[in-house]
Amino acid sequence: MCFTVSVEQRAKKAIREYVKTHDGVQLEIDFNEDFFLVSGFAHPRLPIIKQGKIELSEWGLIPSFAYSEEMARDIREKTLNARSDTIHEKQSYKSSIKDQRAILVVDGFFEWMHQGGKKIPYYIFPKDN
């Protein structure tokens, strides 16, 4: 997951369509709440599709081996992005990738391009909006 995402009208519309086309899905979101451009490090509550319902949840990984709140917080700060080539090998992700998956509904996300020593935000979103 990228560190900075946007959640706007398109994401809300996609959630409504998902609910209409999937029988039994519960919508546990107050759409009057403002959504925005957020940093993953802030661990905001965002719409997540998981296990037959859509709810507002914080995203971030807290692996089962975290034995204290301090350790959990530290690991969560370091596990916002998983690499596809190592996700099945790293202890932090190994069991979660198989059993605890979810979809984070966003309009797009930012990656950073490096040009001449500068970091430039590059917004990535679906071609068809």
For 110-129, the pLDDT digits (tens) are: 888 889 999 888 888 888 76
Residue 34 pLDDT: 62
Architecture of domain 4-124: Alpha-Beta Complex (3.90)
pTM: 0.62
- Tens digit of each residue's pLDDT (9 = 90 or more) over 57-106: 776 777 778 888 888 878 777 777 777 888 888 877 777 787 777 777 88
Query: Listing from the earlier edge strand, what are the strands of the sheet with 26-28?
Result: 26-28, 53-58, 45-50, 103-104
How far is residue 92's CA from residue 94's CA, in Å, rounded to a whole number?
A: 6
Residue 10 has pLDDT above 60, yes or no: yes
Question: Which amino acid appears at position 127 of this protein?
Answer: K
Domain boundaries, the chain: 4-124
